[in-house]
């Protein structure tokens, strides 16, 4: 199908992009890598009157170190994030999750910020961002503000941003030395997650000192498996303790039922995958 008619602008600065979005109002859309938006436009599931292409804004592509944080620009591609040494060293969970995103073609075009802003509960980067207490920096007509990941994801495909705001960068606290793994279950290779688990642990002499676990597609937004985290801290890093803690993975979640799986099966997957992710992370 052919998309509905729209106006197209390609600003070269964040301020220009924000002004274009403000002028468009509810009928404007941002296009970054286009891997999620273009199929929707072609099927006419969305019909914006204006597309704001942010691909020509250089500052949005940077990946840099800023004190105790790693900052990933919204337009950095998955491929660039995958191979960045700063991300690999200080945010290994992001590297692990990005490795599973779609296929090489999509990873070369799709963007880190685009995936976050799209807010698909089955997306592979939302749960890691939540587990790491990431902060989203968004720009609007009144300047920039920072939104914690726990407040940024509001509902299915819905974030705390207004239509006139633009995601500029994602700030990730450094977790240097933490072990991480992303365990994903999907129907076919390179598809969206039915359920996935983002796990990070810090061990000290064979004991689990800290743990952070995010769940993908277990609610309308990514969620933390805090019952598992609490059960792990202070315990010896053994298979028995991991299994016992992972049994709590679905506590407090509200997984949906669809053509891929029902809620009960997703809860089962969460428990199984959490055990696998923790085992792989701890090694």
List pLDDT tens digits, range 191-233.
Answer: 899 999 999 999 999 999 999 999 999 999 999 999 999 999 9
DSSP 3-state assignment of 12?
Answer: coil
Tens digit of each residue's pLDDT (9 = 90 or more) over 67-114: 999 999 999 999 999 999 999 999 999 999 999 999 999 999 999 999
| CATH top-level class of 61-173 | alpha beta
For the chain, the structural domain boundaries read 7-52, 61-173, 183-282
Check for a shared fold between 61-173 and 183-282. no
pLDDT at 50: 97
Does 3.30.43.10 match the CATH number of domain 7-52? Answer: yes
- Cα distances (Å, whole numbers) of residue 231 to 197, 206, 219, 227: 16, 16, 22, 6
> pTM of the predicted model, to two decimals?
0.96
pLDDT at 1 over 80: no
pLDDT at 49: 95
Sign of CA dihedral 197, 130, 134, 79: positive
For the segment 16-42, the average pLDDT, to the nearest whole number, is 95
pLDDT at 244: 98
pLDDT at 202: 98
CA distance 165 to 96: 29
pLDDT at 120 over 80: yes
For the segment 45-63, the average pLDDT, to the nearest whole number, is 96
CA distance 238 to 117: 37
Does 3.30.70.260 match the CATH number of domain 183-282? Answer: no
Closest to 219 measured CA to CA, from 155, 262, 264: 155
Tens digit of each residue's pLDDT (9 = 90 or more) over 136-194: 999 999 999 999 999 999 999 999 999 999 999 999 999 999 999 999 999 887 789 99
């Amino acid at each position: 199908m052919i998309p509905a008619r729209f106006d197209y602008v390609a600003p070269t600065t964040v301020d220009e992009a924000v002004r274009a979005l403000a002028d468009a109002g509810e009928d404007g859309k941002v296009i970054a890598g286009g891997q999620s938006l273009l199929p929707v436009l072609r099927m006419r599931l969305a019909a914006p009157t204006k597309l704001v292409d942010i691909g020509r804004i250089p500052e949005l592509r940077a990946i840099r170190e800023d004190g105790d944080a790693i900052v990933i620009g919204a337009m950095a591609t998955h491929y660039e994030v995958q191979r960045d040494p700063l991300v690999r060293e200080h945010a290994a969970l992001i590297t692990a999750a990005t490795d599973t995103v779609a296929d090489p073609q999509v990873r070369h075009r799709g963007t880190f910020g685009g995936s976050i802003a799209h807010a698909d509960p089955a997306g592979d980067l939302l749960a890691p961002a939540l587990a790491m207490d990431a902060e989203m920096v968004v720009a609007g007509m009144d300047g920039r503000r920072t939104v914690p990941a726990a407040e940024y994801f509001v509902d299915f495909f819905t974030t705390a941003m207004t239509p006139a705001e633009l995601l500029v960068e994602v700030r990730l606290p450094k977790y240097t030395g933490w072990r991480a793994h992303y365990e994903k279950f999907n129907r076919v290779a390179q598809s969206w997650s039915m359920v996935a688990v983002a796990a990070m642990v810090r061990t000290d002499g064979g004991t689990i000192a800290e743990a952070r676990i995010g769940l993908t597609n277990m609610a309308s937004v990514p969620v933390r498996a805090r019952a598992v985290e609490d059960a792990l801290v202070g315990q010896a890093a053994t298979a028995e303790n991991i299994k016992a803690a992972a049994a709590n993975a679905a506590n407090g979640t509200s997984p949906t039922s669809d053509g891929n799986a029902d809620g009960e099966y997703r809860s089962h997957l969460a428990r199984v995958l959490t055990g696998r992710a923790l085992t792989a992370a701890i090694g």
